[in-house]
Amino acid sequence: MAGPTNALMWAVVGVWAACTAGAWADYSDIMAVEHPGPRRCEPIRIVACQDLGYNLTSMPNLVGIELQKDAEYRLNSFKPLIQYGCSSQLKLFLCSIYAPLCTPQVPTPIGPCRDLCETVRNRCAPVLSELGYPWPHFLNCSKFPAHNNEEHMCMEGPGEKMPPHAPPTTSPRPKPPPRCSQYAHAHKYRYINATGTCAPLCQANISFNSSDKSFAGVWMAIWAVVCFAVTLFTVLSFLLDAAAFRYPERAAVHLALCYNLVAVGYLVRLVAGAGRVTCHADPELGVGVAVTEGGLHTTCALVFLLLYYFSTAASVWWVMLCVSWLLRAWRGWTHEQILRHSSWFHVAAWGVPAAQAIACLVLRKVDADELTGTCYAGQQNTETLVRFVLVPQFLYLVTGATLVLVVFACLWRARGRLREEGMKTDRIDVTAARVGVVAVLYMVPATCQVGATFYEYVERERWLRDPSVRPNMEVFMLKIFMSMAVGIMGGLFLVNGRVLNSWKQLFRRFSARKQPLPAYLQQPHMPQPHHVHLHLHKHPPTHCVSAAHHRPHDGPADVHGYVPRYPLPAPTKHHHHSHSARHKCGSETQV
């Protein structure tokens, strides 16, 4: 290579070295990783390693990566150095580390031999040295087996096929660009070679200071507890008396359930702490950095699913609520008719958010939020913020608002028709009022959320790159409140007299105490002799009449104030038995 081509390739290697050398510095020793056997071999799916003379590997590899797609992701960062061609065995050497040879007869993965490592190092180390970077510490050749034998099997390599590349002398040595220099606080970032992004250090104050974060935590805790309590009461009310919630209002119950789980997401963050949710100890860097791939971090992924999935599901349930109103106002569907088709509501309301959340996890778009210490989509990537947050929120809001306008148009037309016929319009007026109130309770907070997200999209790059520009704290506090305000106000709106009566009946059922029996029922029971026969009547118990009408003619009344319609036999010495017979009037003495 000569002339412009040589200079261009040298610049490419310089950029690569600047991005990767820092990540190598504190890498753990490869051979210290234990690989318990036996191991299950699997075909190599890494494209760069499929033409090297072996086709089976096993995971985790020599650097502890457990999935081949992650290993390929890391291996691709070495492409500039491979294309530069400092060593013909560089690809084999790297593949033997990221996709080591596996054979069923050997319980451990087979990596490179020491000679292979030294050959690659002798030819590629000068290239790195010219750029001011030493040979990576984690590629220390003394860690690899010296010879390929029965005790320590390793791959020797076919040998070099070309002379080593001498550093070019005709072109000036380019200075490697400083990493993350585009940010105002570049020293608080670390470049992640695997993702090609700059991640903030854990607990670093970049856009917000410590007092802002403390206040946000308290503010978030207050409204999360209130939202959880109100929406939990609404959900339990539905479980207690589902008949009290009829469509279209029943869709609002599912919306309250979504906001209840959003509040749970905030509470999980508060209990676990910001460090356990958003901080990740990167073994390559040796320091803790903010999570940039939340799908690989369990606690971060859990908080993300609770916040992102259920907030999106709440937005879709808002659209389903508007569809229910439209079916009621336009088609005149009853609760039973809507209920028969409600399965489609559930498919849309739970399926669409699931597709969005899975896309974020698969594409690794989940990252940490500096202010709240939660994990969401697009908190460090503006493009992700637009695609997965701003655009869906705006579409759901506009769709619901459009359906509400159509509902009002249908109600207005129906009201005019009833007035022409001289009929009352009270029911339509009440329905329109309820639709309007619920629409305002949802659309105002949702509009504030969309506006706050748009503000973050427009201004984020400015306050990250210009130290004199700071974000507006009030906008973010409003966004946190509005993210739970719909659940709070919507849950309270669904509480009505029937719901309260259901709770009162439940409390009475558990709090009611056994009343003491009257004195006449506390008398000891005396068995009846067999010679006493009770008079059985074919008439209903109503033949027992009040003693106020028959006491002068039919004899004394019994303990309940009733006397028999027909005179009983004269009392005998066993008069307590006849008294028992009279007492049973209207019960087992009737047929």
Q: Nearest Cα to 293, choosing from 283, 278, 307, 315?
A: 278
How much is the pLDDT for 538? 45
What's the one-letter identity of residue 318?
A: W
User: Angle at which helices 249-272 and 473-493 pack, to 10 degrees?
Assistant: 130
How much is the pLDDT for 371? 94
> If residue 493 lies in a helix (H) or strand (E), which one and from where to where?
helix 473-493
The pLDDT-based confidence of 27 (bands split at 50, 70, 90) is very low
Q: What's the rounded Cα separation, in Å, for the pair 579 and 555?
A: 12
Range of lowest pLDDT (187-201, 417-431, 529-543): 529-543
**DSSP output for 73-117:** HHHGGGHHHHHHTS-TTHHHHHHHHHS-B--TT-SS-B-B-HHHH
Helix (H, G, I), strand (E, B) or coil at 160: coil
How much is the pLDDT for 39? 65
Specify the pTM.
Answer: 0.62
Range of lowest pLDDT (120-124, 497-501, 543-547): 543-547
Does 566 score more than 60 pLDDT? Answer: no
Q: Nearest Cα to 380, choosing from 120, 204, 499?
A: 204
Range of lowest pLDDT (136-145, 366-375, 416-425, 543-552): 543-552
Q: Nearest Cα to 338, choosing from 245, 403, 400, 412?
A: 245
Q: What's the rounded Cα separation, in Å, for the pair 60 and 376?
A: 29
pLDDT digits over 83-108, tens only? 777 888 888 888 888 888 888 777 78
Between 78 and 5, the higher pLDDT residue: 78
Q: What's the rounded Cα separation, in Å, for the pair 584 and 590?
A: 9
Listed in sequence order, the residues at least 6 apart from 20 whose beta carbon sits closer than 8 Å to its beta carbon are 77, 78, 193
CA distances from 126 to 20, 87, 129, 130, 141 (A): 16, 11, 5, 6, 16
What's the one-letter identity of residue 10?
A: W
